[in-house]
Amino acid sequence: MTPRSIIIDTDPGQDDALAILLALAAPELDVIAITTVAGNVPQPLVTINSLGLVALADREDIPVYRGCERPLLRTLVTAEYVHGPTGVDGATLPVNSVGVAEGHAVDHIISVCLDAPAASVTLCPLGPLTNIGMAIAKEPSIIPKIREIVWMGGAFDEPGNTTPAAEFNAYVDPHAAHIVFTSGIPVTVFPLDVTHKALMLPRHVEALADYGTAPAVAAAGMIRFYEVYDIDKYDLPGAPLHDPCVIAYLIDESLFSGQQHHVVVDTTNEETIGRTTESTGTAPNATVMTEIDAERFFDLVTTRIGNL
Ordered by start, the domain boundaries in the chain are: 4-306
* Per-residue model confidence (pLDDT) at position 230: 85
Q: Domain 4-306 falls in which CATH fold?
A: Inosine-uridine Nucleoside N-ribohydrolase; Chain A (3.90.245)
CB atoms within 10 A of CB 290: 18
* Per-residue model confidence (pLDDT) at position 246: 98
Q: What is the dihedral of CA 227, 233, 237, 242, to 10 degrees?
A: -50
The Cα–Cα gap between 226 and 9 comes to 20
Whether the pTM exceeds 0.95: the reply is: yes
Q: Indicate left, alpha or beta for 247 from its phi (over 0: left) and psi (-120 to 50: alpha).
A: alpha
Q: pLDDT tens digit string along 164-213?
A: 999 999 999 999 999 999 999 999 999 999 999 999 999 999 999 999 99
Q: How confident is the model at residue 255 (pLDDT cuts 50, 70, 90)?
A: very high
* Per-residue model confidence (pLDDT) at position 125: 99
Residue type for 230, please? D
Residues 6+ apart with CB under 8 A from 228: none
* Per-residue model confidence (pLDDT) at position 14: 98
Q: pLDDT tens digit string along 98-148?
A: 999 999 999 999 999 999 999 999 999 999 999 999 999 999 999 999 999
Q: pLDDT tens digit string along 259-272?
A: 999 999 999 999 99
* Per-residue model confidence (pLDDT) at position 286: 98
Q: How confident is the model at residue 162 (pLDDT cuts 50, 70, 90)?
A: very high
The Cα–Cα gap between 260 and 218 comes to 37
| Cis-peptide, bond into residue 52, ω within 30° of zero | no
**H-only helix segments in the chain:** 14-24, 45-56, 80-83, 105-115, 130-138, 168-172, 174-181, 192-195, 202-209, 214-234, 244-251, 294-306
The mean pLDDT value of the chain amounts to 97
What residues act catalytically? 242
**Can you give the C-alpha Rg of the chain in angstroms?**
17
Q: How confident is the model at residue 231 (pLDDT cuts 50, 70, 90)?
A: confident
Q: Indicate left, alpha or beta for 297 from its phi (over 0: left) and psi (-120 to 50: alpha).
A: alpha
Q: Is residue 234 over pLDDT 90?
A: no
